[in-house]
Amino acid sequence: MSETKNITVHLKVWRQKRNEKKGRFESYTVKDVSTDSSFLEMLDLLNEDLTKSGKEPLEFDSDCREGICGTCGLVINGVAHGPQQAIATCQLHMRKFKDGETLTIEPFRAKPFTPIKDLIVDRSAFDRIISKGGYVSTNAGSPQDANAILIPKKNSDLAMDAASCIGCGACVAACPNASASLFTSAKISQYALLPQGQPEATRRASQMVDQMDLEGFGNCSNHGECEAVCPKQITIANIARMRREFFKAALRS
Amino acid sequence: MALTSSMLFSSVGKKLLNAVSGLTLLGFILAHLIGNLTLLTGNSDAFNAYGHFLIHKTGVLLYVFEYGLIVFFLLHIITAVSVWWDQQVARPTSYKKTASGGDTSKKTLSSTTMIYTGALILVFAIMHLITFKYGPAEAQGYTTIVDGVEMRDLYRLSIEVFLKPGYLIWYIIANALLGLHIRHGFWSAFQSLGLNHPRCTPILYKLGIVVALIMGFGFVVIPAYIYFKGGVL
């Protein structure tokens, strides 16, 4: 990595007031940004400037700022979570950008992700998909012997990979069709691969896909953009698994 | 088993139907290409006998295939338009700037233009039927005798058509679009069927490019050969 230096960036940011139908882009310049600061810290600097000059600060989502909660999410220069792979927006650093560069910052755009304010969108559609079967509802009882249920290493690894989805919504944002297939498939896959998920497998696959469609997400056309922007590198192999689970559910029901 | 229509027309079901119909149509054009290679033998009887066999010797099978093709064509078109329409609705505000995430993304010119290449292939298919299937036949004097049997001289028609440079250019464009369509369509169909495997999928992805090149160039080789040989094969 190059040495720390301070850079100036020009921003074109989406601003949209609460309950406002249409938003617009506004331009700002943030000076003296350390290349060691994170992208969100750069936006914090912008908000300090805006506050000092009596303007309304920019609203954007963030929580843990260490890439594990899935709260943050911006489309930076046309790519969800910005130009670096396998990270959430909060883990993106300003050293990825050049001095004097213009950055276009937009919210995650999809019909089911209704705008709340500025760069914040409502992602509760994901919660409603989960509520249709993204869980195991059997009574687990008291703890069993650790190896009472044998699970092949490969399956437990794949299930863990799927379970690493943090539900940020970057897959929807990046998808040319605004499909939520990667998210839904990860939530289906993490149970489909484990014996504990089997009793409810049929209901889970069909109901979660139904809810995904009902929310108004697009269809998956296998562009694979979701996989490329996913901070947890969830693969589209999960989407194929979701389809298999759905077909199985269709044949069993 | 209760494969309901709502399941078939869910986001997953639509892609299943689109994939099955797409692969079927690919099978058809592959057979069509192989059959048409008889044109290149330079033996007019071989091509005419092949055409005669298809029309007069296959009996009811011909109708099964013809109507089957129409059904698969319609299924492919309806599901594709539906997927495209959902995509328009699902993102009411478009991005000011879009870029690819790179890395493992499979978004290509091919994948983002499927609806347009598909629409142009449909236009081509209709014009192609008008030129050949509903083109000049026995009534217009396009007859020949092969092994004592009088049949339509489809060979003469093919040569006449492809000696016109306009047709050659149109066929080059249309088949380039067909190749572009197959480049994404081939591997994508398997993914839509739920067939993804760490070893097989990368092979299928590459095979899609090979199939696209074969189909794209294969159908151009025939008219180009006829044109540049001046119709004397």
Closest by CA position to B197, among listed B209, B187, B184: B187
CB count in 10 Å sphere of residue B32: 12
User: DSSP code of B53?
Assistant: I
* Residue B106 domain flag: no
Helix axes B165-192, B200-228, angle to 10 degrees: 170
Closest by CA position to A60, among listed A79, A37, A83, A76: A76
- The reported pLDDT for the residue numbered B143 is 93
- Cite the beta strand spans of chain B per DSSP E: 143-146, 149-152
- Interchain proximity B91–A106, CB inside 8 Å: no
Between positions 23 and 52 of A, the ones with CB within 8 A of B are: 23, 25
Mind listing the domains of chain A with CATH numbers?
Answer: 6-106 (3.10.20.30), 124-252 (1.10.1060.10)
The pLDDT of residue B2 is above 70: no
* Residue B93 domain flag: no
Residue B123: both structure tokens together: 């236009």
- Domain of B221 in residue numbering reads as 7-87+111-228
CB < 8 Å to B102, chain A: 85, 228
Per DSSP, what are the bridge partners of residue A38? A93
- Most B CBs within 10 A among A85, A243, A253, hence the mutation to make, goes to A243
- The reported pLDDT for the residue numbered A253 is 74
The pLDDT of residue B128 is above 60: yes
* Residue B41 domain flag: yes
Place of tokens 């009472």: A148
Q: Give residue-wise pLDDT tens across range B37-60.
A: 999 888 899 999 999 999 899 999
Maximum C-alpha span of chain B? 68
Between positions 114 and 173 of A, the ones with CB within 8 A of B are: none
- The reported pLDDT for the residue numbered A2 is 60
* Residue B99 domain flag: no
* Residue B103 domain flag: no
Alpha carbons B13 and B16: distance in angstroms, whole number: 5
What residue in B sits closest to A115 (Cα-Cα)? B93
Closest by CA position to A247, among listed B201, B13, B224: B13
Closest by CA position to B131, among listed B157, B101, B97, B156: B157
How many residues are present in chain A?
253
* Residue B101 domain flag: no
- The reported pLDDT for the residue numbered B1 is 39
Q: What are the residues whose beta carbons fall under 8 Å from the beta carbon of B106, sequence distance 6 or more?
A: A222, A223, A224, B184, B187, B205
* Residue B14 domain flag: yes
Residue A215: both structure tokens together: 């929310």
Q: Is A181 exposed, middle or buried (0-12, 13-18, 19+ CB in 10 A)?
A: buried
> Residue-wise over A23-49: b if at least 16 C-beta within 10 A, else e?
beeeebebeebbbebbbbbbbbbbbee
Q: Give residue-wise pLDDT tens across range A38-70.
A: 999 999 999 999 999 999 999 999 999 999 999
Whether the Cβ atoms of residue A235 and residue A227 lie closer than 8 Å to each other: yes
From the CA of B16, how many Å to the nearest CA of chain A? 9
Alpha carbons A64 and A94: distance in angstroms, whole number: 18
The predicted complex's ipTM stands at 0.94
- The reported pLDDT for the residue numbered A252 is 84
* Residue B162 domain flag: yes
pTM of the model: 0.95
For B12, the closest of A79, A80, A246 (CB atoms) is A246
Distances (CA, A) of A168 to A61, A94, A242, B135: 11, 21, 19, 57
What residue in B sits closest to A252 (Cα-Cα)? B1
Domain count for chain B, please give it: 1
- Interchain proximity B87–A244, CB inside 8 Å: no
How many residues are present in chain B?
233
- The reported pLDDT for the residue numbered B3 is 60
% residues pLDDT > 90 (chain B): 87
- The reported pLDDT for the residue numbered A146 is 83
User: Tens digit of pLDDT per residue, chain A (253 long)?
Assistant: 567 899 999 999 999 999 999 999 999 999 999 999 999 999 999 999 999 999 999 999 999 999 999 999 999 999 999 999 999 999 999 999 999 999 999 999 999 999 999 999 999 999 999 999 999 997 878 888 888 889 999 999 999 999 999 999 999 999 999 999 999 999 999 999 999 999 999 999 999 999 999 999 999 999 999 999 999 999 999 999 999 999 999 988 7
DSSP 3-state of B68: helix
- The reported pLDDT for the residue numbered B204 is 97
Q: Is the dihedral of CA A200, A202, A203, A208 positive or negative?
A: positive
What are the start-end ranges of the H helices in B53-164?
60-90, 109-112, 114-131, 154-162
Q: What are the residues whose beta carbons fall under 8 Å from the beta carbon of A223, sequence distance 6 or more?
A: A175, A176, A177, B105, B106, B107, B111, B112
Whether the Cβ atoms of residue B163 and residue B227 lie closer than 8 Å to each other: yes
CB < 8 Å to A79, chain B: 99-101
